[in-house]
């Protein structure tokens, strides 16, 4: 049986990991500490009662407890362990922060797990900037508004249950009348031949509009998505100004992108 000190150490480590990664998984934590999932769930319940994190399905995220079920965006084809995937997304989000053109920037932010990680970085780095953000993600809108970002708007339309993306004709109409300094988008896959891809025609139309309505477009693409294709192309490399990936991206990709004039950014 674990001592009080061992339990306290485990729980403090869980909080630290969740703050670093944005999210923790019950199964990953159980394996890391060599305890049962039930033990981790009890830890998370205690930590939530202390206001140190918020339990969600399969794990926990940083934030105060809420009275409703939280639905986080999920990548259908993410094959990495949660902690590894989240670490990559957080590093991409941190690098994306450096591309924001200034404290008065206007932004369009696409729905998705990587853009949610970027939004978490934005929230942690909000220090009174006069950012204006329009997003197609309820989760991103909530995260940024809760952090105090002054001008946060959410596009109206139909919310997809799994990806938490707002889609449909209403969303398209609202995007067409907007302009932004910079756009941040996610993608299901990327290859030089087929460009950036997604499996949903409704999301493809939204992503195309986001790119069209921004002066500068950035795709947040973790290395697991590179050389993987989904069903529909929503943009080619030269349709965007930059791609941010992680350190596991192929070393040959930067040279391959030279003819497109699209910048590859690696944290």
Q: What is the pLDDT along the chain (267 residues), one digit of tens a residue?
A: 678 788 888 998 998 888 878 788 999 899 999 999 999 999 998 888 777 888 887 888 876 544 433 445 545 444 444 455 678 888 999 999 999 999 999 999 999 989 999 998 998 888 889 999 999 999 999 889 988 898 999 999 999 987 889 999 999 999 999 999 999 999 999 999 999 999 999 999 999 999 999 999 999 999 999 999 899 999 999 999 999 999 999 999 999 999 998 999 998
Q: Could you tell me if 18 and 60 are in contact, meaning their C-beta atoms sit under 8 angstroms apart?
A: yes
Q: What is the pLDDT of residue 197?
A: 97
In angstroms, the Cα distances linking 144 to 135, 215, 229 are: 10, 22, 31
Cβ-proximal residues to 34 (8 Å cutoff; 6+ apart), any chain: none
Taking the alpha carbons at both ends of the chain, their separation in whole angstroms is: 42
Task: Tell me whether the CATH fold assigned to 4-61 matches the one assigned to 82-265.
Answer: no
Dihedral pair phi/psi, residue 235, rounded to 5°: -165, 150
Q: What is the pLDDT of residue 54?
A: 85
Q: What is the pLDDT of residue 126?
A: 87
In angstroms, the Cα distances linking 165 to 5, 109, 123, 157, 254 are: 43, 11, 20, 9, 30
Q: What is the pLDDT of residue 23?
A: 83
Q: What is the pLDDT of residue 3?
A: 83
Listed by start position, the domains of the chain span 4-61, 82-265
Its CATH architecture, for the domain 82-265, is 3-Layer(aba) Sandwich (3.40)
Q: What is the pLDDT of residue 63?
A: 64
Domain 4-61 has CATH 1.10.10.10: yes
Q: Could you tell me if 264 and 88 are in contact, meaning their C-beta atoms sit under 8 angstroms apart?
A: no
Q: What is the DSSP string of the chain?
A: ---HHHHHHHHHHHHHHHHHHSEEEHHHHHHHHT--HHHHHHHHHHHHHTTS-EEETTEEESS---SS-------TT--S-HHHHHHHHHHHHHHHHTTS--TT-EEEE--SHHHHHHHHHHHHT-SS---EEEES-HHHHHHHHHHT-SEEEE--SEEPTTT--EESHHHHHHHHT--BSEEEE--SEEETTTEEEES-HHHHHHHHHHHHTBSSEEEE--GGGBTB--SEEEE-GGGSSEEE--TTS-TTHHHHTGGGTPEEE--
Q: What is the pLDDT of residue 22?
A: 79
Q: What is the pTM of this model?
A: 0.72
């Amino acid at each position: 049986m674990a001592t009080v000190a061992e339990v306290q150490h485990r729980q403090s480590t869980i909080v630290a990991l969740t703050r670093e990664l944005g999210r923790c998984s019950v199964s990953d934590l159980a394996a890391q500490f060599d305890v049962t999932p039930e033990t981790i769930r009890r830890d998370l319940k205690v930590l939530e009662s202390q206001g140190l994190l918020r339990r969600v399905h399969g794990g926990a995220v940083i934030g105060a407890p809420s009275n409703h079920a939280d639905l986080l965006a999920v990548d259908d084809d993410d094959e990495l362990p949660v902690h590894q995937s989240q670490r990559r997304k957080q590093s991409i989000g941190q690098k994306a922060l450096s591309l924001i053109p200034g404290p008065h920037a206007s932004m369009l932010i696409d729905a998705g797990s990587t853009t949610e990680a970027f939004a978490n970085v934005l929230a942690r780095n909000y220090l009174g900037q006069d950012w204006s953000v329009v997003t197609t993600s309820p989760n991103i809108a909530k995260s940024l508004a809760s952090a105090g970002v002054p001008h946060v708007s959410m596009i109206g339309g139909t919310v997809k249950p799994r990806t938490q993306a707002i889609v449909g004709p209403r969303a398209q109409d609202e995007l067409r009348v907007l302009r932004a300094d910079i756009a941040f988008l996610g993608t299901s896959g990327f290859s030089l031949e087929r460009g950036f891809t997604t499996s949903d025609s409704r999301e493809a139309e939204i992503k195309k509009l986001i790119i069209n309505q921004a002066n500068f477009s950035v795709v947040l693409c973790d290395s697991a998505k590179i050389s993987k294709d989904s069903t529909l192309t929503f943009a080619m490399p030269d349709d965007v100004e930059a791609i941010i990936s992680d350190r596991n991206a192929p070393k040959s990709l930067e040279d391959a992108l030279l003819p497109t004039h699209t910048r590859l950014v690696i944290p």
